[in-house]
Amino acid sequence: MSNSIKIEPPLTDDVISDLKAGDHVLITGVIYTGRDMAHKYIVDGHSKGEKPPFDLTGQILYYTGPTPAPPGKPIGSAGPTTSYRMDKYTPTLLELGLKGMIGKGPRGQAVKDAIKHHRAVYFAAIGGAGALISKAIRKAEVIAYPELGAEAVMRLEVVDFPAVVANDIYGNDLYQIGVAKYREIEGAESEAC
C-alpha cells in the first residue's frame, strides 16, 4: 500500500485530525485486543472505581479473538470481529482516553457521536483476512482476563498493520460513503441502458 499513512500509537489529536474516512493506514507499535466480554469487564470495573487493565490514553483497541498460535508464531489467525457488539461500551472507553478502534462493520450513531466528541477514530480491517493480518503481528501477550480465552485482553506488537479509516472526527462514515457511491454508479448505469 504505497499511498498508506503510517501511524504509531499512542495516537494524538494532531494525528487523528489528519485522518479522513477512506484513508489507508499502516499501524506500527503496540495495540491491544478486546471483544465484548472484555469491554464489559472494563466498563463494569470502571463503574466500581477500578482502573482498566492498561492505560487507555491514546491507545488503539482491536476487536479480535485470535486462534491459538501455531508453533513458531506469536499468534494464530487474527481477523476482526463485528464492531457493533462493542457499541454500548465504546462511549465509556472513549471517555477514558481510548483514541482508536479496529473492527469490521458500521457503528451506531451514539458511537459516531462519541468519536467526534472525544476526537477518536474507527478503523476497518478486512474480514476474512485473519491469516494475512496476523503476519503484521510480531508479538502477542495476554495482559488481562485470561479466563476469557481467545477474548482475553492482549498486548500486540504490530508492524504495518493494515486498516482503513471508517469513521473520522468530522462525522464522515466510509460505510455510508460507499453505499452512496454505489447508488450513484448504479443510477448512472440504469440511465445508460
Domain limits at 53? 5-192
Residue showing cell 479466563 = 147
d(CA 150, CA 78): 10
Predicted pLDDT at 183? 61
Predicted pLDDT at 94? 98
Model confidence band, residue 190 (pLDDT cutoffs 50, 70, 90): low
Average pLDDT taken over every residue of the chain: 92
Q: Report the predicted TM-score, pTM, of the whole model to 2 decimal places.
A: 0.91
| 113-148 tens-digit pLDDT | 999 999 999 999 987 777 888 999 999 999 999 999
> For the residues 169-188, what does the mean pLDDT come to?
76
Nearest to 62 by CA among 112, 114, 133, 115: 133
> For the residues 23-50, what does the mean pLDDT come to?
97
What are 171's three cell numbers? 462525522
The number of domains in the chain is: 1
Q: Count CB-CB contacts under 10 A for residue 57.
A: 12
Residue 106: which CATH number?
3.20.130.10
Predicted pLDDT at 27? 98
Q: Count CB-CB contacts under 10 A for residue 147.
A: 9
Predicted pLDDT at 192? 59
Q: Are 122 and 87 in contact (CB under 8 A)?
A: no
| 55-94 tens-digit pLDDT | 999 999 999 999 999 999 999 999 999 999 999 999 999 9
- Buried/exposed code over 159-179 (b: 16+ C-beta within 10 A; e: otherwise): eebbbbbbbbbeebbbeeeee
d(CA 164, CA 158): 16
pLDDT at 95 over 90: yes
Predicted pLDDT at 2? 52
Partners of residue 123 on adjacent β-strands: 102, 165
pLDDT at 42 over 50: yes
- 189 Cβ contact partners less than 8 Å away, ≥ 6 residues apart: none
